[in-house]
Amino acid sequence: MRTLFTAAAVAALSLAAAGGAEAAGKVKACWVYTGPVGDFGYSYQHDQGRLAAAKALGDKVDATTFLENIPDSDSERAIEQLARSGCNIVFTTSFGFMDPTLKVAKKFPKVMFEHATGYKRNPNMSTYAAKFYEGRYVMGQIAGKMTKTNTIGYIVSFPIPEVISGINAFERGMQTTNPNAKIKIVWVNTWFDPGKEADAAKALLAQGADILTQHTDSAAPLQEAEKAGKLGFGQSSDMMKFAPKAQLTANTDNWGPYYTQRIQALIDGKWKSEDTWDGIGKNMVVMAPFANMPDDVKAAAVKTTADIASGALQPFACPVLDQDGKDRCKPGAKTLEDGDVLGMNWYVKGVDDKIPQ
């Protein structure tokens, strides 16, 4: 029994060694996802980014490895398994992986790590996130023009800064086109539960909302808008297929260029620990084609998108008044500081809701 075991172990080790030699010329990039790649939302878009990087870099990269459906509390082992299996760079794509990634990064100084939406870094650990709120500003402007009932339904998951800054940007965009419009917020306390998201959507439609937007992952709310003959926005992915008559545009996550660029940097020996926070300008946030709206609204949306991309328009340009009318900007500042947006836990003036505690 013992000899058999040893033989098998030797065989396994030599197999592993052979695999390593074969891949020596290539950079091996690996991913960890919080959800299933089939969620057609957040994890799906990261996987699309992986595929885009694989395509762009061709022979230079082995980008075939990922682990899906990894719970936060069990992620350290998954990340470490990847680091040990010969990955040169590991992308950990969920906020909950922050401390586990940092722990593994300290253990494996030769492997590079990239953590999405967190704030802890190391010489071999970068962070990256997208300015989703930029897209939401555009959506707010469109909604302001397209609403007839002046009520926009907004379905949200959890009161974290990414979500709050999205609501605030939407509100500020909407105020520029329609100061009378109001957003009606419903917290569903889940990222993904199609049934519950649909319930929230239907409740909002029943209460007079004629445009829906969401910061949850499934296509259910948009589908409800389509069914009711109302309008809505897609989230994470272009959801046009689900709502050809309802989707105005979608705030899509486009990770491909970033992944390509970071892996290329590693190949060139130029990878550094950085903090990347890009939006429409660097194509990390991409607006899906504007549809189901008149030409003038479309033209305005295209212009706003271009202005945000060039930096001419800042969704949080000062002054930024909160619900009490207090300006949250530093004296003399042109825009709100990044840190204030990244840790946002207050609403701008005009939002008629209380952040749940």
Q: How far apart are the two ends of the chain, measured CA to CA in Å?
A: 59
Whose CA is closest to 42, among 222, 235, 284?
A: 235
- State the Cα–Cα distance between residues 258 and 240, nearest whole angstrom: 24
Smaller CB separation from another protein, 97 or 141: 97
Residue 38 near another protein by CB under 8 A: yes
Residue 29 near another protein by CB under 8 A: no
Q: Closest approach of Cβ 112 to another protein, in Å?
A: 17
Considering only residues 209-228, where is the footprint of another protein by CB under 8 A?
218-220, 223, 227
Query: What are the tokens at 249?
Result: 């545009």
Q: Closest approach of Cβ 299 to another protein, in Å?
A: 30
Q: Closest approach of Cβ 196 to another protein, in Å?
A: 7
Residue 72 near another protein by CB under 8 A: yes
Length of the chain: 357
Candidates 151, 176, 194, 309; binder of another protein (CB under 8 A) is: 194
Whose CA is closest to 341, among 129, 98, 95?
A: 129
- State the Cα–Cα distance between residues 301 and 282, nearest whole angstrom: 18
291-330 footprint of another protein as x/- string (CB under 8 A): ----------------------------------------
Residue 42 near another protein by CB under 8 A: no
Considering only residues 107-146, where is the footprint of another protein by CB under 8 A?
107, 119
Residue 334 near another protein by CB under 8 A: no
Listed ranges 34-42, 174-182, 266-274, 276-284: which one lies at the site for another protein (CB under 8 A): 34-42
Determine whether 308 is exposed, middle or buried from the number of CB atoms within 10 Å of its CB (0-12, 13-18, 19+).
Answer: buried
Q: Are 222 and 212 in contact (CB under 8 A)?
A: yes
- Residue spans of beta strands (DSSP E) within 192-246: 211-215, 231-236
Q: Are 308 and 277 in contact (CB under 8 A)?
A: no
- State the Cα–Cα distance between residues 178 and 231, nearest whole angstrom: 17
Candidates 25, 195, 269, 325; binder of another protein (CB under 8 A) is: 195
Which element (helix H / strand E) includes 111? none
Residue 71 near another protein by CB under 8 A: yes
| Residue 96 Rama label (left phi>0; alpha psi -120 to 50; beta) | alpha
- State the Cα–Cα distance between residues 286 and 52, nearest whole angstrom: 15
Smaller CB separation from another protein, 100 or 144: 100
Residue 80 near another protein by CB under 8 A: yes
Smaller CB separation from another protein, 138 or 222: 222
Is the bond preceding residue 319 a cis peptide, omega within 30 degrees? yes
Considering only residues 161-190, where is the footprint of another protein by CB under 8 A?
161, 164, 185-190
Torsion of CA 83, 88, 90, 91, to 10 degrees: 180
Smaller CB separation from another protein, 114 or 138: 114
Candidates 18, 51, 206, 299; binder of another protein (CB under 8 A) is: 206
Q: Closest approach of Cβ 212 to another protein, in Å?
A: 13
Q: Hey, which residues does 122 pair with through a beta bridge? A: 125
Q: Give the strand pairing for 89-92 and 285-287.
A: unpaired
Residue 11 near another protein by CB under 8 A: yes
**For another protein, how many residues bind (rule: CB under 8 A)?**
83
259-298 footprint of another protein as x/- string (CB under 8 A): ----------------------------------------
Which element (helix H / strand E) includes 237? none
Candidates 12, 17, 18, 302; binder of another protein (CB under 8 A) is: 12
Smaller CB separation from another protein, 11 or 299: 11
